[in-house]
A and B are shown apart, each in its own frame.
Chain A
Amino acid sequence: MRTGAEYREALRDGRVVYVMGEGRVDDVTTHPATRGVVDEYVRWHDLHRDPDWADTMLAPPDAEGQRTPWALTGPHNASDLIGMGRSFAKTCFLSAGNITHDPAYGNLIALGIINAVAEHGAGAEHVDRAKAYHTMIARTGRFLTFSGGSPPIGYRLRPDPKDRAAIKLVRETDKGIVLSGRIGMHTSPCYAEDIFVGSLCGVQLDGHPVSFVVEVGAKGVTTLCRKIAARDANPFLSPLSSRFDELDGTLWLDNVLIPWERVFLIDPGPEAVARWLMWHHLHGWGARAEFSLGLALALSDAMGLTENAQTVEYLIDLLAVVQTIRACQTAAAHEPEPTLTGFCAPNQRHVMAGGITLFKARQQIGEILRMVPGSSLVVAPSNSDISAPALAAGLDEAFAGGGYTTAQRSALLQLAWDHVSSGLDGRESAFELHASGGMPTWRGRLRKTFTDYNSLANAVLKQLDCDMPAIDLGSIPAAPLAPRRINTPRSPALEAKP
């Protein structure tokens, strides 16, 4: 694993980055809109050299005494999944679940590419190409992020269906393919070095859907990041927003050469590539839920409510959700499923059950954390107010006591506010409702991976004392995932009206 400093240096690669509302960013490592998250990624890399984190971040020594980072492991058994899952949970917690894309996630994308190419049956040469790319990722720690490849809204509303694809193949050369186009939302592109672009981009070769990996710093690539989550400039009031806004973005390609070794033929949908990704998403969501529970516990202490029966019931509501996710993740890692290329993947049914539970619970978790501290959450002062001579004594009288100073209690309240009532919180919700397909996709995946339709349906018939037709419900899991939403362009007649 490279050092954080080496990672930071790698980002100075001539990339063209814009942040909405901020203009061109010449150097993401120093620009105020981006440097905070760069520093978090630097810290992520350096954790691998921290003795206190060794048992979390590194696999047990192999025969030669080498310890591989869990973040760059290709799992082959349940023990690998358990070790990897533990490292994801611990590191995601460090950002309260806000930084969801890191090089460990990139490693899972690369594993998913191998899986997708194998499932597509493109041939051994293509599988070897995908394996070589994963090997490079595992060796260098290069940071890869993910885009499904779908086009932005303007493309989808074009009158001619042929023009609605995100990317067009400009030409093929002996070195690769040259592409142009614009790609919709994906996350952390300005911090990553490579972006996997999925087959939703619409490019085909010899009738096969194409996915590819493009370098963020490549010639012809422009990254447009969304506006930063609005936050107070004072970190006391935005302890999370000021550090963990990972920035989503769109990608423009202008005659970009993609070498053949970065071109992968896969099925049209993103399911196979995402084989390990939903598991990581659930770890991110679990970390956010655990952080919410931790905050609620800390606040119940700071507000003197640990023995208030109603507060404890709120806490149990939170911990029931947290513990359900833990149970699902435990089961997923302990009952893994093999992939075509010999890797081991977490059991999808358990992961989906956990994800659906969290989708249902998410808003309630936020509301409980707003309820537990009472209205102090709304009126808590900042550190600058506490320092104002005219206010200091009064604020101390109003907010100090019970083992906490005004600054301490306020810091905790502001942390809670930033977690569940900020622009960062709103972005997280909006993002996760779309990023992995939202609730419809998680339900669809559970529908497809649940295995007992026929056995349960026919088992209940045994209670009846008459011959019954044998039931075959294979069509329920066999049905494809719901198609992506179709955007309907306005009719030309309507367009013509003033």
Chain B
Amino acid sequence: MRTGAEYRAALRDGRKVVIMGGGEIDDVTTHPATAAMVEQYVAWYDRHFDPDWKDTLVAPDGRPWCFVLPRTKEEVLAIGRSITKTIFLSAGNITHTPHYGHLIAMGVLVAAETRNAGPHHAANAEAYRREVVETGRFITFCGGAAIIGQRMQPEPADRVAVKKVRETDKGMIVRGRLGMHTSPAYAEDVYIGHLTGVQIDGHPAGFIVPVAAPGVTTLLRRPAVRESNPFMAPLSSRYDELDGQMWLDDVFIPWERVFAVDPAPEGLATWLRWHHLYGWLAKAEFTLGLALALSDALGLKEHDATVEYLVDLVAEVQVVRSCIAGAEHDPEFTPTGYCVPNHAHLGAGGVSLFKARQRISELLRIIPGSSLIVAPGDSDLLIPELAEGLEESFGGGGYTARQRAALLQLAWDHVSSALDGRESAFELHASGGPPGWRHWLRRSFKDYNNLANAVLDFIDLDMPAIDVSGIGTALPAARRPVSLPLKK
């Protein structure tokens, strides 16, 4: 595992990054829009050298859990523990890390093995995964879908994100523009999925692009609007991982980074939704933690209605914990022996959290009462003519006004900020949103015919045997078609 400093230095690789509303960024490690997140990733790497974190992040044989390809239930449990502990540190806001990148590389390997279009594809995928393990290189993920303007092209053949310009004996040269993906400014590689439409030997292809490769431009979204004072924005000021788009202008992709992959959602995402669910759980757990802290700070921990709100939150958190525990204790195995958290259990947890998410946020807005809205900033507390009155208004019960205000501002930043809004909008799309998770559950549920035929045993009559397996094997819903405006 490299150090945080080595990672920081690796980002000064000549990459071309533009941020909406802010122009070109010469150095992501120092620019105000990106420097704080770089430091979070630096801390992520350095944590592996922290003795206090050793038992969480490092296997007994010395391998970082983030770079272990699991083959046993015990390894899945340990990897899960390392994910949940680290993702909580950003209140679930930093969802893309080098660990997630390794899960992408593992998924590329499985998707290549599943497609089985030639041994070199799986071999190349494994070689790439090993490179990630040996170097700690940070890869992120882009599905490869076209952006809205491309989808509005009059000619159907032009409605793709990327086109192959030409092939050489060393690789292929591609050109195009890619839609939303996350943390490209902080990653070193981006995996581009088969939704580009690029094919290799007649098979759907994914490929890997270095962020700093010649011809690559990364366009980041505008940062989540926030107070410049970190007291008012303790999360927004540090954990805005920045989504982006990517433009490819005659970019060369070597054949070793092009993979014939299975297009089913289960292959590439074999481990990714597990990580997504941990991210959502971390946000829910952080919400519960805040609610608990606020119930203490506001003297409400023995107030019946507040405790009932807390139990509502506990129940949502515990359901997801149970689903993840079920998934890890009851895993599945790929044909080549990799251990995978049970997708059906994970799907149930994800659907449950999608249903609960808005309510979870509302509860955190309810519990502190209107103090949440009128809490002062630290600068207000320092104004001589306000200090005494604010201390009288917000101090007491074991908390200073500053302490209580800090907690209230943290809650506000967590569930009433632009960062919160971005997180919601992002997660409603990133992994397919509720329709994607419901469909994934639909495909991973195994007992359609068993259950349908089992109820027939209650009828004292010969009945037709039922085959409803088509429900579970249906292809993923097609991406939303875009209607073109009629020509005038």
A204 interface hit (Cβ, 8 Å): no
Take A324-B352, A330-B345, A460-B290 as given contacts and tell me if A352 and B318 are in contact as well, using a CB distance cutoff of 8 Å: yes
Interface contact B288-A463, CB-CB below 8 Å: no
A319 to B442, CA, bound (A): 8
A467 to B461, CA, bound (A): 73
Interface contact B464-A295, CB-CB below 8 Å: no
B residues near A377, Cβ cutoff 8 Å? none
B residues near A225, Cβ cutoff 8 Å? none
B166 interface hit (Cβ, 8 Å): no
Interface contact A415-B458, CB-CB below 8 Å: yes
A320 interface hit (Cβ, 8 Å): yes
B434-475 toward A: CB 8 Å interface, digit per residue (1/0)? 000011011001011011111110111111101110110010
Chain A residue nearest to B448 in the complex (CB): A297
B210 interface hit (Cβ, 8 Å): no
A266 interface hit (Cβ, 8 Å): no
B276-313 toward A: CB 8 Å interface, digit per residue (1/0)? 00000000011011101101100001100001101100
Interface contact A323-B445, CB-CB below 8 Å: yes
B184 interface hit (Cβ, 8 Å): no
A331 to B466, CA, bound (A): 31
A482 to chain B, nearest CB (A): 9
A313 to B327, CA, bound (A): 23
> Which of A450, A464, A467, A469 is B398 in contact with, Cβ under 8 Å?
A469
Interface contact B347-A407, CB-CB below 8 Å: no
A100 to chain B, nearest CB (A): 17
B residues near A330, Cβ cutoff 8 Å? 325-326, 329-330, 342, 345
Interface contact A323-B344, CB-CB below 8 Å: yes
A472 to B302, CA, bound (A): 12
Interface contact A468-B406, CB-CB below 8 Å: yes
Chain B residue nearest to A351 in the complex (CB): B322
Chain B residue nearest to A311 in the complex (CB): B471
Take A323-B445, A349-B318 as given contacts and tell me if A459 and B289 are in contact as well, using a CB distance cutoff of 8 Å: yes
Interface contact A353-B315, CB-CB below 8 Å: yes
Interface contact B330-A320, CB-CB below 8 Å: no
Interface contact A316-B289, CB-CB below 8 Å: no
Chain B residue nearest to A78 in the complex (CB): B329
A102 interface hit (Cβ, 8 Å): no
Interface contact B315-A475, CB-CB below 8 Å: no
A residues near B145, Cβ cutoff 8 Å? none
Q: Chain A CB within 10 Å — which of B325, B327, B442, B474 has the most?
A: B325
A50 interface hit (Cβ, 8 Å): no
B395-423 toward A: CB 8 Å interface, digit per residue (1/0)? 00011001100110010000000000000
Number of A residues with CB within 8 Å of any CB on chain B: 73
A residues near B319, Cβ cutoff 8 Å? 324, 328, 353-354, 356-357
B residues near A459, Cβ cutoff 8 Å? 88, 286, 289
Interface contact A475-B349, CB-CB below 8 Å: no
Interface contact A469-B399, CB-CB below 8 Å: yes
B58 interface hit (Cβ, 8 Å): no
Number of B residues with CB within 8 Å of any CB on chain A: 75
Chain B residue nearest to A309 in the complex (CB): B477
A212-247 toward B: CB 8 Å interface, digit per residue (1/0)? 000000000000000000000001100110000000
A120 to B90, CA, bound (A): 44
> Which of B295, B447, B451 is A473 in contact with, Cβ under 8 Å?
B295
A411 to B457, CA, bound (A): 11
B residues near A160, Cβ cutoff 8 Å? none
A491 to B142, CA, bound (A): 73
A466 interface hit (Cβ, 8 Å): yes
Interface contact B455-A415, CB-CB below 8 Å: yes
A residues near B230, Cβ cutoff 8 Å? 465
A280-300 toward B: CB 8 Å interface, digit per residue (1/0)? 000000000011011101101
Within B340-356, the residues touching A (CB, 8 Å) are 342, 344-345, 347-349, 351-352
B residues near A469, Cβ cutoff 8 Å? 398-399, 403
Main secondary structure, interface of B, reads: helix
B314 interface hit (Cβ, 8 Å): yes
Interface contact A294-B322, CB-CB below 8 Å: no
Interface contact A463-B91, CB-CB below 8 Å: yes
Interface contact B452-A298, CB-CB below 8 Å: yes
B residues near A301, Cβ cutoff 8 Å? 452, 466-468
Chain A residue nearest to B462 in the complex (CB): A408
B426 to chain A, nearest CB (A): 20
A127 interface hit (Cβ, 8 Å): no
A307 interface hit (Cβ, 8 Å): yes
Interface contact B448-A327, CB-CB below 8 Å: no
B residues near A334, Cβ cutoff 8 Å? 325-326, 329-330
Interface contact A447-B307, CB-CB below 8 Å: yes
B234 interface hit (Cβ, 8 Å): yes
Interface contact A328-B286, CB-CB below 8 Å: no
A74 to chain B, nearest CB (A): 22
A51 interface hit (Cβ, 8 Å): no
Interface contact B463-A297, CB-CB below 8 Å: no
B residues near A328, Cβ cutoff 8 Å? 319, 322-323, 326
B residues near A465, Cβ cutoff 8 Å? 230-231, 234, 406
B residues near A240, Cβ cutoff 8 Å? 458
A356 to B442, CA, bound (A): 23
Interface contact B296-A471, CB-CB below 8 Å: yes
> Which of A297, A331, A403 is B451 in contact with, Cβ under 8 Å?
A297
Interface contact A324-B323, CB-CB below 8 Å: yes
Chain B residue nearest to A357 in the complex (CB): B319
A315 to B307, CA, bound (A): 34
B372-398 toward A: CB 8 Å interface, digit per residue (1/0)? 000000000000000000000000001
A350 interface hit (Cβ, 8 Å): yes
A residues near B326, Cβ cutoff 8 Å? 326-331, 334, 350
A404 interface hit (Cβ, 8 Å): yes
Interface contact A315-B302, CB-CB below 8 Å: no
A residues near B310, Cβ cutoff 8 Å? 447, 476
B residues near A472, Cβ cutoff 8 Å? 296
Interface contact A357-B352, CB-CB below 8 Å: yes
Q: Chain B CB within 10 Å — which of A236, A300, A457 has the most?
A: A457
Take A327-B327, A353-B319 as given contacts and tell me if A294 and B288 are in contact as well, using a CB distance cutoff of 8 Å: no
Chain B residue nearest to A319 in the complex (CB): B445
> Which of A327, A408, A456, A466 is B285 in contact with, Cβ under 8 Å?
A456
Within A143-176, the residues touching B (CB, 8 Å) are none
Q: Chain A CB within 10 Å — which of B308, B327, B403 has the most?
A: B403
Take A327-B349, A468-B406, A468-B407 as given contacts and tell me if A353 and B454 are in contact as well, using a CB distance cutoff of 8 Å: no
A461 interface hit (Cβ, 8 Å): yes
B198 interface hit (Cβ, 8 Å): no
A49 interface hit (Cβ, 8 Å): no
B87-104 toward A: CB 8 Å interface, digit per residue (1/0)? 010010000000000000
B235 interface hit (Cβ, 8 Å): yes
B residues near A411, Cβ cutoff 8 Å? 459, 461, 463
22 examples of A-B residue contacts, CB within 8 angstroms: A235-B460, A290-B447, A291-B451, A291-B454, A294-B451, A297-B452, A300-B471, A306-B471, A323-B345, A323-B347, A328-B322, A353-B319, A353-B322, A446-B311, A456-B288, A458-B293, A459-B289, A460-B290, A461-B407, A472-B296, A476-B292, A476-B310
Taking beta carbons and an 8 Å cutoff, which residues of B are in contact with A?
Answer: 88, 91, 230-231, 234-235, 285-286, 288-290, 292-293, 295-296, 301-302, 307-308, 310-311, 314-315, 318-319, 321-323, 325-327, 329-330, 342, 344-345, 347-349, 351-352, 398-399, 402-403, 406-407, 410, 438-439, 441-442, 445, 447-448, 450-456, 458-464, 466-468, 470-471, 474
**In the complex, the 4 A-B pairs of residues with the closest C-beta atoms, listed nearest first:** A294-B451, A456-B289, A327-B326, A334-B329
Taking beta carbons and an 8 Å cutoff, which residues of A are in contact with B?
Answer: 93, 96, 235-236, 239-240, 290-291, 293-295, 297-298, 300-301, 306-307, 312-313, 315-316, 319-320, 323-324, 326-332, 334-335, 349-350, 352-354, 356-357, 403-404, 407-408, 411-412, 415, 443, 446-447, 450, 452-453, 456-461, 463-469, 471-473, 475-476, 479
Given contacts A297-B452, A324-B352, A326-B345, 14 further A-B contacts (CB under 8 A): A240-B458, A294-B454, A298-B468, A312-B442, A319-B445, A324-B351, A330-B342, A331-B326, A353-B318, A452-B285, A460-B289, A466-B403, A473-B295, A476-B292
